[in-house]
Structure formats: C-alpha cells, structure tokens
C-alpha cells in the first residue's frame, strides 16, 4: 500500500495498529514543519532537531493509547509544548545558577566582604543606569522583584521572547561591565 496517497486520518489508524510505514510517512510529512517551529522558537538547530525527535519518539511510544483527531494540530501542539518545556528548563537553570552565586555571597559575611558586596551593589546600579531603560526595567523586575517572564511580558506589554532577550542582554552587559568583581579562582 502506498502510504503517500493516504490521508492523515488513515495514517493515524495505521499508526494506532503499530504500522511502522505509517509512522515513517507521518515523520516525512511533518518533520520539517515541526523543525521550523522549534528552530523559530529556540534559535538553535541542534536543540530544534532534538525537540522534534522527542515529539516523534513520544508519538511512537504512545501510538496505541493516544487519540488523535487532527494529526497536524496534534503534532503542532506537541512541538510547542516541547519548546515551552525546553525554554522553561533553560530559565530555571539560569535562576538556579544565580541562586548558588547569592548563597555563596551570603555564606561569606566578613566585614570586608560586606563592603565588597555593597560596592558590587552600587556598581550594579551604575551599570544598570547605562542600559536602555526597557532592559534595565525588565532586569530589575526579573531579578530584584522576582517576577516571572510571563508577568513582566504582560505588565510591560511585551512578548515573552522580548523579555527573555532583555534579561539576556542585561546579564551579558553586567558580566562585561562588572568583570573587576569576578574572582580569579
């Protein structure tokens, strides 16, 4: 049977029965579309490919259990969920690293270190004042007011991607402008 001639509904039925040829045809039809969605959101080819592979692995593993009424919509939502989870994990990882840095600062509380911390805080404020206003505001809300990307985006009428851009830009700027505070260890 020529799988290329079948509609999505028939392919889903064959997939449900465990037909590898139906899975391969679905893969061929949708891989590029899903890759484009993932790449557009992540901007990283390897990550996009990996996220698409996860969607297809999940589809194959769940083939007997999942009820798919619209294959195109199902796969599009699946890749968007994979991308969302990926971005969320990247943000969580970055916040965890910042937490570790702040914990280390808190543990070293000698007078000299407190003075150094105050100098660092002043240097951070001066550096933030040299950033574009929107970037500085997004950074302050994210790091000092502990607002989520979603909250900042909603309150400032920005996309979540724009908020992430401003945070990344601010962190890079601060890292470059506060290099004298980095330890030599």
Look at residue 143 in the predicted model and tell me its pLDDT: 85
Predicted pLDDT at 107:
63
Q: What is the pLDDT of residue 60?
A: 95
For the chain, domain boundaries: 3-85, 108-181
What does CATH list as the number for 108-181?
A: 1.10.10.10
72 vs 54: CA distance, rounded Å: 16
At residue 116, the pLDDT reads 67
Structural domain 3-85, CATH architecture: Orthogonal Bundle (1.10)
Q: What is the pLDDT of residue 2?
A: 74
* Predicted TM-score (pTM) of this structure: 0.52
Cα angle: 85, vertex 94, 101; to 5 degrees: 150
Mean pLDDT of successive 10-residue segments in the chain (185 residues)?
A: 82 92 93 94 90 95 91 94 86 74 63 65 84 90 88 93 91 83 55
């Amino acid at each position: 049977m020529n799988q290329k001639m079948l509609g999505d509904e028939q392919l889903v039925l064959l997939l449900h029965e465990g037909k590898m040829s139906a899975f391969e045809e679905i893969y061929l039809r949708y891989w590029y579309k899903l890759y484009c969605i993932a790449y557009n959101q992540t901007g990283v080819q390897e990550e996009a490919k990996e996220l698409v592979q996860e969607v297809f692995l999940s589809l194959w593993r769940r083939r007997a259990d999942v009820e798919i009424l619209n294959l195109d919509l199902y796969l599009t939502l699946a890749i968007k969920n994979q991308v969302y989870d990926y971005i969320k994990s990247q943000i969580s990882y970055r916040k965890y690293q910042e937490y570790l840095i702040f914990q280390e600062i808190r543990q070293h509380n000698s007078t000299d270190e407190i003075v150094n911390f105050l100098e660092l805080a002043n240097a951070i404020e001066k550096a933030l004042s040299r950033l574009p206003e929107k970037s500085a505001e997004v950074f302050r809300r994210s790091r000092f007011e502990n607002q989520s990307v979603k909250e900042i985006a909603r309150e400032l009428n920005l996309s979540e991607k724009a908020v992430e851009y401003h945070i990344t830009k601010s962190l890079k700027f601060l890292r470059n402008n506060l290099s004298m505070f980095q330890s030599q260890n």
